[in-house]
Structure 1
């Protein structure tokens, strides 16, 4: 290393070229690296979907989901199997182990599922794919007072045009139903002509088709033979001949049926600002650039507005690029403020030119980091900017130590070049190993487990890159700059005045170190065991803040956006019209809220910009939880789009939600009504999963658990995942039916054909896969009486009334059936007001007071944590393992340069006191401890040992020069006083703007900044006071160990005895 330092010091051109390379590389990285709001991370989940149209959830579970679970159970690499059986669909999610070969498991799962041959014949082909977290960039609402077909076609045309833009690969249209040709034949028509629905379907399949017929090989070449007669549109089916009467009369399909070219029957619709609408979703995939996507889509939509029919409006109502730019703007301002404060501190305590060259290390390190990003999977996101803010004051630490030491060698009278080389070399070992320990401290951030791991890893990587770049700058570039800097005296009045002021400040700091600090430290180390006891007491007091609940611990802070959500659920079986009417009450409340809050806040523009109401499908919200997915006719969601945060006087989305909830009040017949403002979250604050075989037992247990949760103050919105399904008519045969040759399959098939329909054929019409369904008319499918009036056809062709061969019972089934690892599951969830009670406190109380008795009453029910607490436990487990690994690495990195096993322990003893500072900082600032706080404390461990390492290294150097033990440590305290104070204060000041901000945009990141800033500040005093005590205590123990060794007869060599005696006397 000495050779490299000397070579660069003698070659300023090489040093400047290296600096320019890092700066230009950073400029390239800033342009080439894609931007996104939050980091893109992979989830190892395989999705399996099997449609079983018309089937009840219990049938879907038995016939499809259970068979899939049994088929893939036990496959290597699978961690958990979740399934949900809903009406007409089996959905299975296979969670993989972290180290699983995703491609291999996907192929194996697909092969096994495709090989299942025992599915009911009505099921469709299984869809097996890798699940991914969707990241919506832009949502365009297409709305107007027009019909559903027009909106769908405009939406799809817009989708196709957007998808054609280079750099955009995923565009979809929501709230649209598939096309369908419905051929409706009444019971009267069937009986008049003596035919069945099955026969009508067969005729359609035989009459509507295109089929190749081979080729005729002539002398001049081949001529293809084709039969063409496929009907594609409703009117084209009208002339199909169904039968010919005995008198020769031909009966066409239009004579016996109503043919409707329409949409699939279903309850899926949306209103945008009061008008019917569809939504075009543009998503970000892989390394696509969010800002570029948003800009190009906005430009296209602006042009497209002039091409749509009058009365149709296109609104880009969700654009995450604006949220990203606003959040990045706030963070960038905080970073700029922190940088200014760091520069001011440097200029105050270092000579101006030294301070200038030291400060240049900041942009060199940051831009050098940006230069590395294009070669990784890291993007420029809010987490990346957060990492840059964290590292602002850290990257300058090694440059301060080097610059301060070079200046000290110049004051010894050495030539500038030699002073730069000697000063840099003197501190190179502690500086290099100090940076390495800081890097080691950030390793746990990339070792966090769970769904949220992808949020934290970029912080760790960015900090590591920045520290490596800062080390290169301080060891190779900075010495050259200091060796060849201009040393002319200042000539201007301002420069002269500033030089005198700075000189006076430096002299005051030096006087403080010699006249006040050194005598105080001498007294502290004299009473070192008492001092250590006081430090231990302070540590216990700080931990008591958590134990007493004065400082509350949470997990992942909820990240707000500019939208708030209201979710409504009515009883199963309610029609979409009734649900939309109930949603109207919530919409009306939102309009009143808009008028009142716009007036109260004095806003020139409305608080509520847009409003989307949907039935049958929830709005897709990005994040680790994945898409919200499809729902049913009894569910609705209302989303209001708020003005940007800066335009609504920094009123948080949660405050808007509270007011909206008050305005809505109670909704008649509502099973559940929830409000939410979180864009990203780690799950419900309180969530328990109850697993067992009997749904009745699970329901009883869930009700008891909900009743227990309702006893806690601050716990609200308590609900469970169980929902009673629609009413079911369960059919069975009468004994008389057997005499007629009827089977249960005959009965089920004819009833299904009449009320659900039989698929005559499926055709490709343009880009649509259109089904042709044959069934009863809608008016003959509206009551139980229609079922009773139906006629059943026997194998002999006889028509008999339904009631003469079958009976039915009316019961209520399940809305959905959830399973985890083969067991039925009901999930109990609740929200928490953290100002009243912490989720951990509720969970701990439930675990102590309820669970033991609960398990005795329900021995077949397994209770496990889910949601935020489960995610927290998983993440904390990974963090604990990473922290342990980090501590081992830090110990090794300290032991190597110090050549001691005990001195690293003395240095690492400051780490818990850094945690004390973090806890006290949260308490003083009134901020809840979060998982981000824990990450900050872990990262803090590498930062706080740096100053201690520099201190101990200098003390060891002085001892090697022959200075007595206590004087060596006192000299180290005085000499290292200024660089230790500077490095700590710059780290703290770099984070002050972020800690001080009150905007919701930065609220999730404050806890980590508080931990690092306050931890470093508190650990500084520990380094300057307690580390000298621990250093001498280590020597005391070594001396006692030597005496004990001598007592055992293993006396050390004479020279070692003399050295120990001198040290003991000095002590």
Structure 2
């Protein structure tokens, strides 16, 4: 390696060509890099959804979920099966083992589902697919005081136009009901004509079909035969002849029934700023760009709006490109500011040329990294950009150490070329191993399991790539640039002269500090190692005690706020849509009051606190975020959501959390509400607090979940306590009387007739605008909207007679859950909650639940199993995988330190410094007031790399001094004097590089603050650590080694003396 470094220094063209190659390759890689708010990843999941129209959750569970679970048991690659049975819909999710061939498993799952023969005939074809996240980019809202059909037609036109543009391949419509053609006929008319509903459905079905009749072979060729008569419109169905008399009289369907071309009988309705609305959502898939998709929609809306009818508007909503652009600009701004501060610091302590080339080297490493990141699948997102900022604080170390060593050789009077060669070769080995130890330290982050690991993997990939490229630049490019004569010191330029004078003054101050306080401090450490070690150990115990005692709060995952505030309302099961609408309107009024109150405290030119207001009745709202997949949900009149769009964070004077607080203050008393939650989080990897209960006893589950909710309510600061135990919706349970069989009525006959009358008998399916439209025949709404209608319903017998329902069946009132959740073949109930971090952290609540509450409830409910899920389960999985990874990383770091030091003991001395480096990180959290969490750990990993790097360089210099014949104490003192400047500079530049993010007040970067605090403040203490604690460690290690050597020598001498004595005695 030394020969290669020397050759590159003397071959300027080669070094420059290498630099140009890195820059060009990186530039091409940057161009191809996609931009996203957060990384996307494909969950290891297979979704199976089966629609069973009209079926209750219990029917869906028994008829669909249970057989599906049984079919999946034989597939070894499936690790866990979760399922949800709701009204008319079953969703089964198969979680796959890591590393399996997902496509192959998908084929196996499809085959297993196809082999199920017990599915009811009324179900729709099962949909089996791999869960693939879709990145929502932007929404177009078509709204106005017009009918739902008019809005849906316009929305479909917009969808088709957007897809036709070519820049967008996935566009979906929401906020509107599905098309449905309904044929309604009254019981009296059925009786008058002697029809049953099933007979009429059969007639309609037979009169609406299209069937191939084969072919005729003629001398002129083949002629195909086809019978055509498939109806497509309501008018076509009205003209169907249902009865033809002998005298030629015909009875048309329109004579006895009402045929309506309308919408499905669901309660889904959306409004946008108070007007009926339909939403068109554009997604980014494949290689599509977020910015390109958003730009295409914006351009289209400008043209689309011009041709809309009067009273209808098209608005852009939830534009993620604005979020992306804001976050990228914010992080880039912080990166540039940090780099500028680094450049200034280097200029003050070294010289302008060295500072400039060091800064340029950082740029080369960063740009070159794009060439490798693109093939690795890394995108330009919040996490990867933060990785660059984190790398900025670390990557400068090797360049500083290399550059400072060359600068020190120049100060000794060597020529630029000789100084570059001697300085670079002298420091090359410790620099290489120092960088490699940092790479190994970050390696465990590549193997974090679960959703969190896939979300954060871009961070270690960026840091490791930049580090490796910075090593190449520091070894083979930087020394060449510093090997040429520096004319800046002899220039007459007033600015450069002033810089040189300032640097000279700084150098005088630095040398005074080195020769004075530093030397005295290091000498004290060398001759009083016990005092230093005792103080350092006490500091560690105090810091970790602050965390364990709750004085320094711990929060596993920070809150990532978005640009919207979302509320979800759940009324008691069975609540009418009118009642739900009444409550959501009260909530909307409270939103407007909160906005008005906040506007009073804002400047007059500040944007309105509420930009837009979108509400949905009949469905719940959902957050976005990485890894989120679209899971089918059935509509419900008892559910509603409200989404408030706030001003752009770049111009807003308040945070989404502040608006959430103001909104809560304006909420009225919501009587009769089952649950109501508000969140300003952009997304969550998992529920903050979640307890899962499992039992075969439904009543025990209900009682236990209620107790969990009661216990959570006792915690101060815990709110939004929810349970998904939805028992309570009323249902009439119909059982066939034994004597009804004398009328030849079977249970199947009874079920089909009741279903056909009140839900509808499906006649056929039509295609309209790319959407399946079912055709149902049923009783009119006036005969199926009251309990009395069921009691007077008449059942047809095979003989043509009609019998009241209560004569052939018993009718009893019961209850049924609105949804059923299952895991691994067992029903489960989840209780979730959130916590106000300013009052109590989720970690504190989860620890109390684990240690006190759940053991107590387990004794109270012996038949129920309790377990913490959500964020706590994610935390346990993450720390378990990190723990395994760090054990291997520590072994790797030990090996990488042992090789250049040629010692088994000195690596332990260096690694012993790692825990002491954490002291500064924890003190920084206490000063800034940021809870310690997972993101803090990333900063501590970076801190570990810097501490190990600087300590390695320090100990390498100590060994060199000892090789010159100095005793350990003098070698340590010389090393402290000689290596203080590069160690201090690496600490200072690391802190300056990361400091803009530490003090960044924007909500878009707040979740990254713990990492910056850990690295920034930790590195400030690293200089003191290395200058004071490491010498004490080295002396302690030397004394221990010498003590063992004396014991060994004494043992050998004693054995020899004993042998002599024994020989003499003989």
Q: Which moved more, 1:503-512 or 1:148-157?
A: 503-512
Q: In structure 1, how many angstroms separate the alpha carbons of the residues matched to 2:135 and 2:492?
A: 58
Shift of 1:271: 0.6
Alignment partner, residue 1060 of structure 1? none
Q: Once the two structures are superposed, what CA deviation does each residue of 1:109-144 show, in whole Å capped at 9, x if it has no partner?
A: 111111100111211221111112332110111111
Q: Quote the Cα distance in structure 1 between the aligned partners of 2:297 and 2:585.
A: 31
Runs of 4+ in 1 over 3 A off after TM superposition: 245-248, 485-488, 624-631, 1050-1053
Q: Is the 8 A contact 1:84 1:90 kept in 2?
A: yes
Q: CA deviation at 1:568?
A: 1.2
The DSSP-based 3-state class of the residue aligned with 1:724 is coil
What is the Cα deviation at residue 776 of structure 1?
A: 0.7
Partner in structure 2 of residue 2 of structure 1: 2
**Distance (whole Å) between structure 1 residues aligned to residue 439 and residue 1053 of structure 2:** 41
Query: In structure 2, the residue corresponding to 1:287 is in which secondary structure?
Result: coil
Q: CA deviation at 1:104?
A: 2.3
Q: Deviations over 1:407-438 (max 9, x none)?
A: 22223333321221111000001000001111
Give per-residue Cα distances to partners, 1:585-640, cap 9 Å, x unaligned: 11112222222222321243311111111012223421245447534111110111
Superposed CA deviations along residues 453-498 of structure 1, whole A, max 9, x for unmatched, are 1232111011111111111111101111011243361212332232
Which residue of the partner structure matches residue 945 of structure 1? 948
Aligned to 2:1063: none
Matches within 5 A, 1:233-252: 233-245=233-245, 247-252=247-252
Q: What is the rounded CA distance, in whole Å, between the counterparts of 2:520 and 2:796 in structure 1?
A: 108
User: Does 2:664 align with 1:661?
Assistant: yes
2:789 aligns with 786
Name the counterpart of 2:1064. Answer: none
The Cα shift of 1:30 comes to 2.8
Q: What's the CA shift for 1:570?
A: 1.3
Equivalent residue, structure 1, for 2:1060: none
**1:554-703 equivalences in 2 (<5 Å):** 554-604=555-605, 605-623=607-625, 624-627=627-630, 630=633, 631-649=635-653, 651-703=654-706
Structure 1 residues 68-113: Cα deviation after superposition (integer angstroms, max 9, x where no partner):
1111125222222111110111111111222333222222111111
Q: Deviations over 1:778-811 (max 9, x none)?
A: 1111112222222211122222222322220112
Per-residue CA deviations over 1:343-371 (Å, capped at 9, x if unaligned) read: 11101100222222222211111111123
Does the aligned pair in 1 maintain the 2:756–2:777 contact within 8 Å? yes
Counterparts of 2:952 and 2:390 in 1: how far apart (Å)? 21
Note the 1:970-981 alignment, pairs <5 A: 970-981=973-984
**Aligned equivalents of 1:319, 1:570: Cα separation in 2:** 30
Match of 2:862 among 845, 859, 863: 859
CA contact (8 A) 1:441 1:940 kept: no
1:1024-1035 alignment, distance < 5 Å: 1024-1035=1027-1038
The 3-state SS of whatever aligns with 2:600 is helix
The aligned residue for residue 913 of structure 2 is 910
- What is the CA-CA distance between 1:963 and the residue it aligns to? 2.1
Q: What CA distance in whole angstroms lies between the structure 1 residues aligned with 2:36 and 2:18?
A: 30
Could you tell me which residue of structure 2 aligns to residue 771 of structure 1?
Answer: 774
Alignment of 1:311-330 (within 5 A): 311-330=311-330
Q: Is the 8 A contact 1:354 1:403 kept in 2?
A: yes
The residue aligned with 1:465 is 465
After superposition, the C-alpha distances for 1:679-698 in whole angstroms (9 at most, x for unaligned) are 11132221100011122110
| Whole-angstrom distance in 1 between the partners of 2:708 and 2:783 | 45
The runs of 5 or more residues in structure 2 that have no matched partner are 1057-1066
Relative to the length of structure 2, the TM-score reads: 0.96
Pair 1:360 & 2:395 matched: no
| Cα deviation digits, residues 762-791 of structure 1 (max 9, x gap) | 233452322111111111111122222222
Mapped to 1, the partners of 2:735 and 2:393 lie a distance apart of 77
What is the CA–CA distance in structure 1 between the aligned matches of 2:187 and 2:952, rounded to whole Å? 91
Task: Tell me the residue number matched to 1:491.
Answer: 492
Asked whether 1:829 is paired with 2:846, we answer no
Aligned to 1:1064: none
- 1-structure distance, mates of 2:1003, 2:630: 24
Counterpart CA distance in 2 for 1:106 and 1:127 is 11
Checking the alignment, whether the CA contact within 8 Å between 1:25 and 1:368 is kept in structure 2 is yes
Q: Deviations over 1:248-277 (max 9, x none)?
A: 432211111111111111111101111111
SS of the residue 2:512 aligns to: helix
8 Å contact kept, 1:619–1:628 = no
1:844 aligned to which of 839, 847, 856:
847
1:103 — aligned with what? 103
Counterpart CA distance in 1 for 2:410 and 2:754 is 99
Partner of 2:227: 227
Matched residue, 1:350: 350
1:882 to 2:885 alignment = yes
Q: Report how many residues are paired.
A: 1052
Whole-Å separation in 2 of the counterparts to 1:1030 and 1:612: 63
Contact (CA 8 Å) 1:883, 1:938: kept in 2 or not? Answer: no
Corresponding residue for residue 265 of structure 1: 265
- 8 Å Cα contact 1:910/1:1019 also seen in 2: no
Distance 1:349 1:13 in 2: 30
Q: How does 1:517-532 map to 2 (within 5 A)?
A: 517-532=518-533
Q: What does residue 991 of structure 2 align with?
A: 988
What CA distance in whole angstroms lies between the structure 1 residues aligned with 2:748 and 2:935?
A: 60
Cα distance in 2 for residues equivalent to 1:92 and 1:679: 26
In 1: Cα distance, 2:582 partner to 2:46 partner: 38
CA contact (8 A) 1:621 1:628 kept: no
Moved more, 134-143 or 676-685: 676-685
Cα drift, residue 839 of structure 1 = 2.0
Match of 1:923 in 2: 926
Moved more, 17-26 or 635-644: 17-26
CA-to-aligned-CA distance 1:934-967 (integer Å, 9 cap, x gap): 2221332122110000000011112122222221
Report the CA distance between 1:321 and its aligned residue.
0.8
1:881-930 alpha-carbon deviations (Å, 9 max, x no partner):
22222211111110111111110010011111121111110001111112
Q: SS at 1:731's partner residue?
A: strand
1:43 is aligned to 43
SS in 2 for 1:313: strand
Q: Deviations over 1:228-263 (max 9, x none)?
A: 111100011112111223554322111111111111
Q: What's the secondary structure of 1:878's corresponding residue?
A: helix
TM-score by length of 1: 0.96
Displacement after TM superposition at 1:156 (Å): 1.2
